[in-house]
Amino acid sequence: MKQTILSLVLLSAVILSFTTMQTKKKILFFGDSITQQGAGPNGYIKKFDSILSQKGLSSRYETIGAGISGNKVYDLYLRMDSDVLAKSPDAVVIFIGVNDVWHKRTSGTGTDADKFEKFYNAIIQKLKAKNIAVYLCTPTSIGEKNDFTNPQEGELNAYSAIIRKIASDNKCPVIDLRQAFTDYLRVNNTDNKDRGILTTDGVHLNMTGNIFVAQTMFDVLSKSFTR
Amino acid sequence: MKQTILSLVLLSAVILSFTTMQTKKKILFFGDSITQQGAGPNGYIKKFDSILSQKGLSSRYETIGAGISGNKVYDLYLRMDSDVLAKSPDAVVIFIGVNDVWHKRTSGTGTDADKFEKFYNAIIQKLKAKNIAVYLCTPTSIGEKNDFTNPQEGELNAYSAIIRKIASDNKCPVIDLRQAFTDYLRVNNTDNKDRGILTTDGVHLNMTGNIFVAQTMFDVLSKSFTR
Amino acid sequence: MKQTILSLVLLSAVILSFTTMQTKKKILFFGDSITQQGAGPNGYIKKFDSILSQKGLSSRYETIGAGISGNKVYDLYLRMDSDVLAKSPDAVVIFIGVNDVWHKRTSGTGTDADKFEKFYNAIIQKLKAKNIAVYLCTPTSIGEKNDFTNPQEGELNAYSAIIRKIASDNKCPVIDLRQAFTDYLRVNNTDNKDRGILTTDGVHLNMTGNIFVAQTMFDVLSKSFTR
Amino acid sequence: MKQTILSLVLLSAVILSFTTMQTKKKILFFGDSITQQGAGPNGYIKKFDSILSQKGLSSRYETIGAGISGNKVYDLYLRMDSDVLAKSPDAVVIFIGVNDVWHKRTSGTGTDADKFEKFYNAIIQKLKAKNIAVYLCTPTSIGEKNDFTNPQEGELNAYSAIIRKIASDNKCPVIDLRQAFTDYLRVNNTDNKDRGILTTDGVHLNMTGNIFVAQTMFDVLSKSFTR
């Protein structure tokens, strides 16, 4: 009898752990070098993991980094099958756009606005066809000045507006990093520096930036978390 | 008995015509505005049709135009399913690369060389997976001067070299339009003009250019034509 | 006696008119296509003339247009002797900077910020050496949107900041057209259009723009007008 | 008597040294970073000095380096008075044009062809007005490949053609470094490398490049040397 009870308890534990394993949701972060670094030590994905842990959600959510340096929107589209769909994520956070604007200046290889929108929509359609939840991030910054003198800031804002429109068209939540950065820098960049507040070089996140991005993402994503 | 013979003759005719129908091969031209115009009146695809007709091959080969203005290599990749695979071509002639170089200068939205190669290969893999024959064209011209002073000529040559390498890697025939244009212009552009020999504006084909491209393509494609 | 009085009256008139002629101050507008058009019908210089006339100042001030399409700061420097100093102006209004930013995108031939400042200062030194009063305009607009999404707006603001610094360094009055445009468009561009409020194409002034620029310039220049 | 003879000897010595001083001709090299480095150890100007010495010409000719990194043609114009005319050279070797082309790609701040010609002519006029002999160099290289695939080579050749035309218009000797480099690389760059034959990075001269430039310049300049 004792043995039978013990067996049942063990079985229950096994079933429970299996169920837990089954229901652990995968959140994939899909982007460029910011996301590639985000999966490294002190990166925003690691910070996101820490928040999950603090909130006691680590058993229910796990994160996957899928960032590659230099990626623009069409590079994401090219590697969707291997880097995203093959991993069966429950949610994908798309964080792209900085290079689409930045490379216009640095190498003459940015992305036209109409094509940016077209590829972005194609990515969303592929994810939706697999019932994957999609979150859209606006791009963070190319220069941190807060008096509207970052050279490519106007265009970065224009592409952010395109992303907000795509999100609205597709009924996807927006993680408005561009707005969050602008608001944060207005208050905290008292010396109007072009780097060093949330980034190391105007683009790539420093420690504060990684924490800030993780928290901003968590605030939006957690609204959809099952209780 | 007569009726039986007649029936057999008719049946044979039906079978023959059906077989002919079945074996009419589809050649699809996949490209940018040059190909879009190529499908229009006096375009290179129409000239190609004329050559097929002159050679008595019209019953065995048909052409499909699939060019869209402004396309770069990644735009081709995005529309492969709808514009190429859905049409079940037997052969695809890829004619892309001018905008990938040209737009670096005109709008800061050209294509980096490494990504050009990556998307080009991805297109070829998709076509090969369907047993479609693939022909690769090098890009024609951005400026027709023959003393090596066309501003973007060096880079157009570099991308042509990449295409020749991709063709070699994938064992695909090359239609070397870049070389053909260079050779033609050396002899025929006696006043070293930047347009007006094979193009209207340095890029888009005039009547002579359309005929020249059609003939150059036919010379390569016809090597694989069944006799 | 009568004759003597008449002679004296006539002589006085001649002297007076001569004196007036002598004291008629020359204001030269030195710039690019906006200024070239400004000297044409309904241009801002003509509107400036109208304001002078309305204020009864036409006898004391005259205007000279010296704008050439496509000019950047170094083009102004190159033609100073022939187009400015040779005309012995009393005041020069420098209105340059749009092309220095704009051409970075359109033709890869904009002006680096450090060289923009260097040439601007060189122009001012040459004018000051001749005791000519110098007024510095910040550039108006490249796109009229008011939600800070004009692609090159960040850089236009950065160059405006450079001009304000040069003015301060050299103790020259600033005609802050950039600020005036931004303020005007915030209120009056209710549909957030990229052209059609003060310009025809985002850059070149329409009728309202010409009047607005003329009035903004007059407000600053008239502070120094002799009474 | 002795005293008189001594006086005459002394006087002769003074006259001789004065004459020598008078006839030592100054050759000024006016350019960008290539020329700035050219005045440094192992630079092309130092190599030019060595050739002068080998030929026993050091007592009759001296060299002055006037190169500044990043300079384009208009930067030369801006600093003519202080850096060239103030030094009263007998001959000026203008070696400019690489950055005018290169910076179109790297920073969107190259020089339009028509303005390149205009500023170049303005420099020549100022030098000729002082009876200074003027030598024009075509630009060396942006990339050393010899199969005409250096990305900006077409434009570098176009600007070289402009310089040859300016030289012809102004009856100035050309030091055709562009042609000399092309010829040299065709023979000596057997592996079609983009750097390392005459330059360290495709643009700046290595030891072999400095010697080659010095010799090429000497071959042209020495034709005008007084015997």
Lowest mean pLDDT among A61-75, B4-18, B60-74, C38-52: B4-18
What is the rounded distance in angstroms from the CA atom of residue B61 to the CA atom of residue B49?
9
Regarding pTM above 0.95, the answer is no
Q: What is the pLDDT of residue D86?
A: 98
| D interface test, pick of B106, B148, B186 with most D CB neighbours within 10 Å | B148
Q: Hey, are the CB atoms on A109 and B105 less than 8 Å from each other? A: no
What is the rounded distance in angstroms from the CA atom of residue A111 to the CA atom of residue B74?
11
- Other C-beta atoms lying within 10 Å of the C-beta of residue C121: 14
pLDDT tens digits for range C174-212 = 999 999 999 999 999 999 999 999 999 999 999 999 999
Q: What is the pLDDT of residue A225?
A: 82
| Mean pLDDT confidence for C124-150 | 98
Helix and strand numbers, DSSP H then E, in chain D: 10, 5
What is the rounded distance in angstroms from the CA atom of residue C107 to the CA atom of residue C100?
11
pLDDT tens digits for range A120-157 = 999 999 999 999 999 999 999 999 999 999 999 999 99
Residues of C in contact with D109 (CB under 8 A): 104, 108-112, 115
Q: What is the pLDDT of residue D59?
A: 95
Q: How far is CA B96 from the centre of its chain?
A: 8
Q: Is the pLDDT of residue D143 over 60?
A: yes
**Burial class of D131 by CB neighbour count within 10 A (0 to 12, 13 to 18, 19+):** exposed
Comparing CB atoms, the residue among B77, B109, B111 nearest residue A104 is: B109
Buried b / exposed e over B61-86, threshold 16 CB at 10 Å, is: bbbbbbbbeebbbbbbbbebeebbbe
SS3 state of residue C200: coil
- Other C-beta atoms lying within 10 Å of the C-beta of residue B4: 8
Q: What is the pLDDT of residue C148?
A: 96
What is the rounded distance in angstroms from the CA atom of residue A91 to the CA atom of residue A131?
9
Comparing CB atoms, the residue among B104, B152, B161 nearest residue D154 is: B152
Higher pLDDT, residue C43 or A227: C43
| D interface test, pick of B100, B112, B153, B162 with most D CB neighbours within 10 Å | B153
Range with top average pLDDT, A23-27, C10-14, D54-58: D54-58
Model confidence at C18, pLDDT cuts 50, 70, 90, reads very low
Q: Is the pLDDT of residue C16 over 70?
A: no
pLDDT tens digits for range A32-64 = 999 999 999 999 999 999 999 999 999 999 999
Q: Hey, are the CB atoms on D119 and C78 less than 8 Å from each other? A: yes
Q: Is the pLDDT of residue D4 over 90?
A: no
DSSP B46-58: HHHHHHHHHTT-T
Q: Is the pLDDT of residue C77 over 90?
A: yes
Residues of D in contact with C103 (CB under 8 A): 108, 112
Residues of A in contact with C153 (CB under 8 A): 148, 153-154
Model confidence at A5, pLDDT cuts 50, 70, 90, reads low
Strand arrangement, sheet containing D174-175: D61-67, D25-31, D91-95, D133-137, D174-175
Q: Is the pLDDT of residue A103 over 80?
A: yes
Residue C89, phi then psi, degrees to nearest 5 = -75, 155
Model confidence at D23, pLDDT cuts 50, 70, 90, reads confident
Q: Is the pLDDT of residue B18 over 50?
A: no
Q: What is the pLDDT of residue C225?
A: 82
CA distance D79 to chain C (A): 10
Share of chain C above pLDDT 90, in %: 88
Q: Is the pLDDT of residue D44 over 90?
A: yes
Higher pLDDT, residue D8 or B149: B149
SS3 state of residue C62: strand
| A interface test, pick of B32, B68, B74, B155 with most A CB neighbours within 10 Å | B74
What is the rounded distance in angstroms from the CA atom of residue A149 to the CA atom of residue A141?
12
Q: What is the pLDDT of residue D18?
A: 46
Higher pLDDT, residue A12 or D103: D103
Residues of B in contact with D147 (CB under 8 A): 157, 161
Residues of C in contact with D32 (CB under 8 A): none
| A interface test, pick of C144, C145, C147, C148 with most A CB neighbours within 10 Å | C148
ipTM above 0.85, yes or no: yes
Neighbours of chain A (3+ CB pairs under 8 A): B, C
Answer for the pair C47, C37: CB distance below 8 angstroms, yes or no: no
| Mean pLDDT confidence for D9-18 | 50
What is the rounded distance in angstroms from the CA atom of residue C29 to the CA atom of residue D101?
32
CA distance B149 to chain D (A): 4
For chain A, the residues whose C-beta falls within 8 A of a C-beta of chain B are 74-75, 77-78, 103-105, 107-112, 115, 118-119, 122
Model confidence at B23, pLDDT cuts 50, 70, 90, reads confident
For chain A, the residues whose C-beta falls within 8 A of a C-beta of chain C are 104-105, 143, 147-155, 157-158, 161
CA distance C156 to chain A (A): 8
What is the rounded distance in angstroms from the CA atom of residue C213 to the CA atom of residue C190?
20
For chain B, the residues whose C-beta falls within 8 A of a C-beta of chain A are 74-75, 77-78, 103-105, 107-112, 115, 118-119, 122
Residues of A in contact with B109 (CB under 8 A): 104, 108-112, 115
Comparing CB atoms, the residue among C151, C155, C157 nearest residue A158 is: C151
Model confidence at D12, pLDDT cuts 50, 70, 90, reads low
CA distances from C133 to C63, C92, C124 (A): 14, 6, 9
